[in-house]
Amino acid sequence: MDSMLEGFPGLLFFMNQDGKIVYVNSAAENVTGIPGRIDAAPLKWLERVQADDRERVALAYQKALLTGEGHKVLAFKFNNKYGKECEFVALPCP
């Protein structure tokens, strides 16, 4: 499974139900700087989401985790590993 995920050219990351990132593929690691396998504090990744988008993104992810329903496309700004603002599009799914 890991080799299939690593070969995916898009950015992938998986969180557990606490909001901790538990897997990041190499494409996502190269852009975000988030290590491939971590167990950081819950929702710590939200610190990298631009302040204007942070609450909306947090609510979408929390809703997906609580209700078991995915969100439609969620666009937001995220600081990459160099601190540069990037546009991200995500599909928060439980």
Question: What are the CA-CA distances from residue 79 to residues 4, 34, 65, 68, 76 (Å)?
Answer: 27, 11, 24, 28, 10
CA-to-CA distance for 35 and 29, rounded, in angstroms? Answer: 6
12 closest CA partner among 50, 29, 20, 1: 29
What pTM value is reported for the model?
0.72
Confidence check: pLDDT of 85 > 70: yes
- Mean pLDDT throughout 28-36? 79
Q: Return contacts of 18-21, CB within 8 angstroms, 24+ apart.
A: 18/42, 19/43, 19/61, 19/62, 19/65, 20/44, 21/45
Q: Give the tens place of pLDDT for each residue, 35-83.
A: 766 656 666 678 889 999 999 988 888 888 788 777 678 899 989 889 8
Q: What is the CA radius of gyration of the chain?
A: 13
Q: What is the set of domains in the chain, with CATH numbers?
A: 2-90 (3.30.450.20)
